[in-house]
Amino acid sequence: MDKYGKRIERVCAEMKKAGIGQLMVNDHLGIYYLINGDGSTVLFANRLFALGDTGLNTVTLTDTDDVAGAVAKHIKPGKMGVDKNMAARFLLPLMDVCCDTRMVLGSDCVDNVRARKDEEEKQLMRRASEINDICMEKLAAYIHDGVTEKECADYLDRCYGEFGCEGLAFDSIISFGANAADPHHSPDGTVVKEGDCIVIDIGCRKDHYCSDMTRTYFWKKADPRYAAIHDLVREANEKAEKLIRPGVRFCDIDAEARKHISAAGYGEYFTHRLGHFIGMEDHEKGDVSSVNTAAVQPDMVFSIEPGVYLPGEFGVRVEDLVIATEDGCELLNHVDKRFRVLGK
């Protein structure tokens, strides 16, 4: 059985657990993940897009066809899972036609399988993170007096292009000084100044898989208080990573990092969850948060990214991606995350 067959087999097992007889997948990444299906899989495609021979049972439609009617011919009575991305303008007419079919949210059947990467996927993620490591170091070396956040973001785009990346995994976050207090600041014309912290949260998309990493540096000098907060956040990152192994709950991993930061008096300034799942999307289903009581399983890939953000002053975040292994985790990022001053 090829990798696609194994994936579909695992999805069907999830469907059986959920009591779902059929599943409609609209998410384009979900379709890509499962595309070489067996004879029980039907692909509905618009004739506007030339797909070639997919090897699937393919139904082609035009913009003026009755889509609901065409799809309904392949739907059986009973309980059917629909994708979280299915637009209401398609779902509601389909529900009207299929009166004897109960439509339920079925995305977890695919998302739960995608959460555990196979060997090929893990290797692709290692390569994407390797590129991210190289580009992070190149960007750190590129920063100079007079440079703006936006110029750094543009330089990073060129770096990724040199490695044949399809593009960014997400909009780059490059923040100087007080801008770093906004965890999702967009690069602008702010010029780096002596004493600024520099938060760099970046990721590329290579061969359909994403990378993600954050490092925080300082330009020419660092306020001792801010340097101490950086070490605090790095320690929280490392404590959480040491806890990762199959069977440990995600909420307990989040608590480990949060407890360390709170003990130093900065708990209220750690304003987001500790991490998120990642793969073909930068944020996939699943997270490392106080409300996720699920347990780690081998082959899951997720981020560990504690942060402290002092409004109007300063921000720091230290982020790695990890692959859960049978007895711990594998770090995908290898750029030094210790306190570092650039431009000296």
Question: Whole-angstrom Cα distance, residue 88 to residue 36?
Answer: 27
Of 59, 95, 100, nearest to 76 by C-alpha is 100
**Which residue type, as a one-letter code, is found at position 73?**
K
Question: Whole-angstrom Cα distance, residue 328 to residue 298?
Answer: 9
Rg of the chain, C-alpha, whole Å:
23
Question: Whole-angstrom Cα distance, residue 117 to residue 7?
Answer: 10
Compare 109 and 52 and report the one with higher pLDDT: 109
Place of tokens 């909009």: 171
Q: Residues 149-166, buried b or exposed e (16+ Cβ, 10 A)?
A: bebbbebbeebbeeeebe
Of 304, 334, 298, 329, nearest to 119 by C-alpha is 298
pLDDT band at residue 329 using 50, 70 and 90 as cut-offs: very high
Per-residue pLDDT, 78: 92
Per-residue pLDDT, averaged over 168-188, amounts to 98
Per-residue pLDDT, 53: 66
Angle at 22 between CA 17 and CA 26, to 5 degrees: 110
Question: Whole-angstrom Cα distance, residue 311 to residue 227?
Answer: 17
pLDDT above 80: residue 37? no
Tokens matching residue 22: 């059929």
**What are the two backbone dihedrals, phi and then psi, of residue 95, each rounded to the nearest 5 degrees?**
-65, -35
Place of tokens 């044949």: 164
pLDDT in tens, 273-286: 999 999 999 999 99
Q: Residues 10-35, buried b or exposed e (16+ Cβ, 10 A)?
A: bbbebbeebebebbbbbbebbbebbb
- pTM assigned to the model: 0.92
pLDDT above 80: residue 70? yes
Q: Are the CB atoms for 237 and 316 separated by under 8 Å?
A: no
Neighbours of 304 (CB within 10 A): 28
Mean pLDDT of the residues in the chain = 94
Per-residue pLDDT, 68: 87
pLDDT above 70: residue 50? no
Of 29, 54, 27, nearest to 39 by C-alpha is 54
**Which residue type, as a one-letter code, is found at position 283?**
H
Tokens matching residue 217: 């540096």
Per-residue pLDDT, 65: 84
Per-residue pLDDT, 51: 66
Of 128, 136, 131, 134, nearest to 340 by C-alpha is 136
Compare 276 and 28 and report the one with higher pLDDT: 276
pLDDT band at residue 250 using 50, 70 and 90 as cut-offs: very high
**Which helix (H) or strand (E) element contains residue 321?**
strand 320-324
Per-residue pLDDT, 38: 53
Per-residue pLDDT, 60: 82
pLDDT in tens, 132-174: 999 999 999 999 999 999 999 999 999 999 999 999 999 999 9
Q: Are the CB atoms for 196 and 152 separated by under 8 Å?
A: no
pLDDT in tens, 9-27: 999 999 999 999 999 999 9
